[in-house]
């Protein structure tokens, strides 16, 4: 079945360092979404990417969708302690928008 792989699984950074998580699908996606889950919290929608090669920015966060629509990345510039949490990518398989396929997540720890 379709899989969405996410790396790394864990990342520890010093506050102020940059952070990147990568998401790779075995099949072409119609769109990809990113969610953030704080410790003890629930997933919160961050952004959706639809177009091939699309790049979107939210303050210190930069999201990219690959040209082949099979991979995506989230980059955080100058991390802060408020960035702590698990970042999930999730995508819909092209031609089947019924079920969202979730990545395993990347847990980010930020040392002050």
Reading across the β-sheet that carries 61-65, which strands appear in turn?
Answer: 4-7, 19-25, 71-76, 61-65, 55-58
| Shortest reach from residue 16's CB to another protein, in Å | 26
| Comparison of 9 and 78: residue with beta carbon closer to another protein | 9
> Residues 6 or more apart from 83 whose CB is under 8 A from it?
19, 76, 108, 110
End-to-end CA distance of the chain: 41
| Comparison of 66 and 103: residue with beta carbon closer to another protein | 103
**CA pseudo-torsion sign 53, 3, 88, 12:** negative
| Shortest reach from residue 41's CB to another protein, in Å | 8
What is residue 15's DSSP assignment?
Answer: T
| Shortest reach from residue 112's CB to another protein, in Å | 23
| Comparison of 43 and 66: residue with beta carbon closer to another protein | 43
**Where do contacts with another protein occur on this chain (CB under 8 A)?**
31, 33, 35, 41-45, 48, 88, 92, 97-100, 102-105, 107
| Comparison of 1 and 112: residue with beta carbon closer to another protein | 1
């Amino acid at each position: 079945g379709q899989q969405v792989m996410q790396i790394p699984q864990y990342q520890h950074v010093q506050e102020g360092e940059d952070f990147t998580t990568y998401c790779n699908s075995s099949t072409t996606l119609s769109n990809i979404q990113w969610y953030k889950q704080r410790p003890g919290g629930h997933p919160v929608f961050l952004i959706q990417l639809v177009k091939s090669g699309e790049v979107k920015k939210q303050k210190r966060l930069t999201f990219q969708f690959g040209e082949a629509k099979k991979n995506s990345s989230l980059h955080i510039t100058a991390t802060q302690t408020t960035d702590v949490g698990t970042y999930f990518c999730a995508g819909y398989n092209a031609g089947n928008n019924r079920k969202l396929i979730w990545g395993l997540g990347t847990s980010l720890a930020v040392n002050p």
